[in-house]
Structure formats: C-alpha cells, structure tokens
Amino acid sequence: MIDPQSSLSVHPWLMCDTCQELLIKMVPLAKETVESRHGISSIIGTGKCESYLIFSSETSLGDAFRIFLYFMGLAYCFIGLSAITARFFRSMENVVKHSRKVVEIDPYNNTKIVRYEKVWNFTIADISLLAFGTSFPQISLATIDAIRNIGNLYAGGLGPGTLVGSAAFDLFPIHAVCVVVPKAGELKKISDIGVWLVELAWSFWAYIWLYIILEVWTPNVITLWEALLTVLQYGLLLTHAYAQDKRWPYLSLPMERTQRPEEWVPPETAICKQEFQAHENDQRSIVDIFSIHDKDKKVPGHDVGESSCSNFLEEMDENEDHPHVLTMWKQQFLDALSLKTSESKKQYNIYLRLARLCWRLLLAPWRLLFAFVPPYHIAHGWLAFICSLIFISGIAYVVTKLTDLISCVSGINPYVIAFTALASGTSWPDLVASKIAAERQTTADSAIANITCSNSVNIYVGIGVPWLINTAYNFIAYREPLKIKDAAGLSFSLLVFFSTSVACIAVLVFRRLTLGAELGGPRLWAWVTCIFFMLLWLIFVVLSSLKVSDII
C-alpha cells in the first residue's frame, strides 16, 4: 500500500496495484526533478531555500531581497580581500628582499670582503611567493570547498570553476587593461623571455593535463595518483624555471635576457650617476647598490645642491626593528580608526573629499580587523605574511558560504557564479596590482609575465591540493576514487579556455615581433588589442556557462 505520509495526494482511481506501482516509480522522479532545479542542469531554478547565513529568520525574507543582501555581502568580502591582499604583498616584498651577509677573502690583498646577497632567487620568488600569493584567495577557496565536502564521493564544483574562471580573468581582462595603460607610443616588454616561455609552456600543459585525466585516462573520475602527479608537477615547474634562469645546459632555452629592474637603474630615473674607470695600478673596489625600496639617507658632511650628485649611506642597525615594534603596531590601529589622510587634505573638491570619507568609513571594519596583522618589519615579514594568509582563508570561507546561499536561493548554477562573480572578485586585486605595475615599471614583467605562472599555480596547487585531500580520504575510508559531477562541462571549459588563450598569446607574440613589446604602442592598435582580449573573455564565460547548464 501507499505510505499515508506521502506528500502526493492519492485519487480513488490510483488504488489499484498497477497504479500504485506507477505512483511509487514517479515519487523519486519527482524528487529528482525538484533537485535538478538547483543542480547543474539549469542556469536558474526555483524552489524555497531553507539555508541561512547567520539567523534562521533570513528564510522568511523574500528571495529577491535575500539575493541582494548576499550579493552585497559577497562584494564587501571582495573589498576585504583587496585590503588584506595589499598587506600581504607588502609583507611578501619584505620577505623577498631579505639579504644575508657573505664574507669572502680577496685573493689579491688577502683582506675580508663583506657583501650582501639576496636569499631568494628572483625566478623562484616569482613562481613561489608571488604567484602563490596572487592565487591564494582562489586556492584557499578551493581548499575550503574540498574540506567541506570531505567524505563525499563527488568533488565540489566551486573550487575548480573559480580557478579556471580566475585563470581566464587573469589572462584576458588583465592583459586588456595593461596593454592600454602605457602612454601613447611607449613600449614595455618582458625582460626575460626565456623564463616566460618556460612558464607559458607549463601553463598550457597544465590544462592539457587536466583534460587528459578528466576525459582520457579515467573519465569523470580522479584517482589518488592523478591528484598526486598534478601537485608534483609544480615542483617540476620550479626546477625547470630555475634551470632556465641559471642557463643550465640541456634544460634551458638559449634566449637572450635583458637587464632586470632589480639589477640596474634606468638612466632617466636615476637619482645619482657617477662613472668609474679602472686603471692598471688601481686597487680592487666594490660598489654597493642599495635596494630601490629603502630610504636614501645623506652622508653627514656632504652638501647636496639641486643639480649635484651626492653620496648616500644606508643605515643598518641590527636592533632597529625591536624598540619600535609596539609603537608601529599601535600606529596601525590609530590609522585604522582615522578618517583623515594626507591625500584627503590635499583635495579641495568637497565631493571628492566626501567620497573618500565614505570609502574610509566603509573600509573601517576591515582596517581595524587587519590592524592585528603584525608590522612587516618583524621576522623579515614572515609573521605578517602568515597572518595575512590566515585572514584571507577566513574571508574565503565566508565567500564559499555566501556563494552556496546565492546558488540555493536564486537557483543560479554554482559553476556560473564561479566563472563570473567569484573569479572576478578574487582576481580584482591582481588587476589593480598589474595596472599599477604597467604604469610605474619600465618592463612588463611585474604586470603580465607573472600571469602565466599564476595560472600554472592555479592548476597544480589550486586544483591539485583539494583533489589530493579528497582522493586520499576516499582511498583510505572507502577505497573509492573521487568522482566529478560535471566533468564534461569542466572539460569543455578547459577546451574553450585553451583555444582562446592560444589566440591571446598569439597576439602578444605578434606584438612582440612587430612592435618590439607586449604592452603599449600606437593607441589605435592598443585599443584594438584590448577589445579583442575582452571579446575572448566573453566567449569563454558565455560558452562555459551554457555548457554546464546543458543548453549547448
């Protein structure tokens, strides 16, 4: 007999045995139809969402109002991510420019020579700290999504969707903005094209590798070995890039490298210039070049005219940081609570000052929270670096909850949200940083050369680590692999991204061969390139969204 607790009404003509069997078969079908409204089969679905963020009374609000509130919360989290990312980059800069003391014996006069060399190799720091740092919001979001779904045989789609969408945002909109930033006729190119080609090759291989394990080796399934191999390839990328930087035989490309910004000072931006000429009877001397980020201090006893050249002395005190740590930390809280800045005092337009005041009021909670991050001077920036990562992870967790609620209330496919809102929001700090670098740096390395490396980190670490966590748990607990709900949709997105990225890189190579640089040049061609890159991004987003929604 039919369960009297069934929510389906029973008509008298359904009391026969045949009709009962038919009704029993229809019950799971009806349940599947309701669940599909929130699944991967449609972009927008319907149905009441009983989940909530903080208060259970949220469910009594209208769906449109709830969606608006959750989107506002998501936007505010992105503002917080932008603020903490700025602190993160400052701490990372202190870590990278850390130098160590090296004492050598001069073979000519048997005297001690003291010099300072950087602890971090430029290429390794670029691929590890910088690329990992720019991708950490996406990586933490994907890792948190994997931890929330641990024990589930099916992988969550929020992390991979965000990482692939973020890679597309980094490649297309960021290139589109950076190519038009230089002034008319100004050209900026990548200095070490050999390392860039190595990173580009590994970036392309990352997406080919994902397609192979999703569609060729074990379709719709990720095994423990596939996840482990994905993560280990990040180590191979580091080794290969370091070999290219050091010009190891058989492992590097014979490409010419121009001078790097940290190795020289452009003549037009030099504060002081002095030429030395070596003679036969002169003694050996060493000229120290200090960091461009440190403060220049005049040597006592030397007057400096407006057009003259002065000697500079960098004050080095081993105990310089410790007495003022608490004072600096206190100043961070005072700055967070202050509504006036030196820039606002210079603005005479009342509307601009009012807008800046409103913006600082909006940022006040985030600034006060992030004031707990220790000053950058402690432990060469490592403490601030780690604390910033913790705050980014916390915000990423809130972002995942808000995304789930938006998908639940509106019925918008989680992959669509990941491709668009999450990818754009988590990559927005990268866009701002790349734009500033394209304006101020003399080369294109800081602006766009790191993008291909970040995309590689997105795959090898951002997708590999969450998959490794889930596959390892499933292997130990169930002896089962990790299943991908919509592997076909993800594979299609990878194919679309690979095709559009080839077109993007081809344009950059063409600009390098014809104009001599990737960024800048004639304004007309710069804007044409910008529009073309944005069209490539729209093609990726639209086609990927339609595919995961089973429309195409």
Q: What is the pLDDT of residue 48?
A: 65
pLDDT digits (tens, 9 = 90+) for 222-252: 899 999 999 999 888 888 877 877 766 544 4
The type of residue at 257 is: R
Q: Are residues 364 and 400 in the same domain?
A: no
- 218 assigned to some structural domain: yes
pLDDT digits (tens, 9 = 90+) for 488-537: 778 888 899 989 999 999 999 999 999 888 888 889 999 999 999 999 99
Q: What is the pLDDT of residue 511?
A: 92
Residue 532 · residue 507 · CB < 8 Å: yes
Q: Are residues 244 and 352 in the same domain?
A: no
Q: Are residues 361 and 386 in the same domain?
A: no
Q: Are residues 174 and 246 in the same domain?
A: yes
| Burial of 537 per CB tally in 10 Å (0-12, 13-18, 19+) | buried
pLDDT surpasses 60 at 301: no
Sign of CA dihedral 262, 268, 271, 274: positive
Write down which residue in 373, 394, 416 finishes a domain: 373
What whole-number distance in Å separates Cα of residue 73 and Cα of residue 79?
10
Residue 420 · residue 166 · CB < 8 Å: no
Q: Token digits for 356? A: 């800046």
Q: What is the pLDDT of residue 316?
A: 41
Q: What is the pLDDT of residue 346?
A: 59
Residue 110, phi-psi category: left (phi > 0), alpha (psi -120 to 50), beta (remainder): left
Q: Looking at per-residue confidence, does 301 or 351 come out higher?
A: 351
Q: Are residues 340 and 412 in the same domain?
A: no
Is the pTM for the entire model greater than 0.75?
Answer: no
- 264 assigned to some structural domain: no
- Tokens 């991004």 found at: 537
Q: Token digits for 532? A: 């073309």
Write down which residue in 373, 402, 436 finishes a domain: 373
Q: Token digits for 372? A: 């707990």
Q: Are residues 221 and 332 in the same domain?
A: no
Residue 415 · residue 155 · CB < 8 Å: no
Among 145-149, 342-346, 477-481, the least confident range: 342-346
Write down which residue in 373, 388, 413 finishes a domain: 373
Q: How many domains does the structure of the chain reveal?
A: 2
Residue 549 · residue 41 · CB < 8 Å: yes
Q: What is the pLDDT of residue 125?
A: 74
Q: Are residues 244 and 123 in the same domain?
A: yes
Residue 427 · residue 170 · CB < 8 Å: yes
Q: Are residues 488 and 403 in the same domain?
A: yes
- 228 assigned to some structural domain: yes
pLDDT surpasses 50 at 275: no
Q: Are residues 533 and 392 in the same domain?
A: yes
- Helices 193-211 and 224-246, packing angle to 10 deg: 170
- 83 assigned to some structural domain: yes
Burial 9-29 (b: 16+ CB within 10 A, else e): eeeeeeeeeeeeeeeeeeeee
- 469 assigned to some structural domain: yes
Residue 162 · residue 426 · CB < 8 Å: yes
DSSP string across 239-305? HHHHHHHHT-TTTS----BPPPGGG---GGG-S--------TTPPP-------TTSPPEEPTT----
What whole-number distance in Å separates Cα of residue 159 and Cα of residue 234?
18
Residue numbers of the domain that contains 182:
62-256+377-548
What whole-number distance in Å separates Cα of residue 478 and Cα of residue 469?
14
Q: What backbone torsions phi and psi does residue 313 show, to the nearest 5 degrees?
A: -130, 130
The CATH number given to whatever domain includes residue 463 is: 1.20.1420.30
Question: Which letter does DSSP use for residue 323 in this model?
Answer: G
**Among 537, 552, 546, which residue's Cα sits nearest to residue 165?**
537
Q: What is the pLDDT of residue 344?
A: 54
3-class SS of residue 252? coil
Cα angle, residue 178 at apex, residues 174 and 184 outer, rounded to 5°: 160
Q: Are residues 450 and 332 in the same domain?
A: no
pLDDT digits (tens, 9 = 90+) for 430-474: 787 788 778 877 888 777 867 877 788 888 888 889 899 999 998
DSSP string across 347-364? ---HHHHHHHHHHHHHHH
- 156 assigned to some structural domain: yes
3-class SS of residue 519? strand
Sign of CA dihedral 412, 413, 415, 419: negative
Among 156-160, 197-201, 328-332, 366-370, the least confident range: 156-160
What whole-number distance in Å separates Cα of residue 81 and Cα of residue 394?
10
- 329 assigned to some structural domain: yes
Structural element, H or E, at residue 100:
strand 99-105
Q: How many residues does the chain have?
A: 552
The type of residue at 82 is: S
CA distances, 226 to each of 219, 238, 298 (Å): 12, 19, 58
Residue 448 · residue 434 · CB < 8 Å: yes
Q: Where are the beta strands (DSSP E) in 163-254?
A: 187-188, 221-222
Q: Are residues 99 and 218 in the same domain?
A: yes
- 198 assigned to some structural domain: yes
Q: Are residues 238 and 136 in the same domain?
A: yes
DSSP string across 473-504? HHHHHTS--EEETTHHHHHHHHHHHHHHHHHH
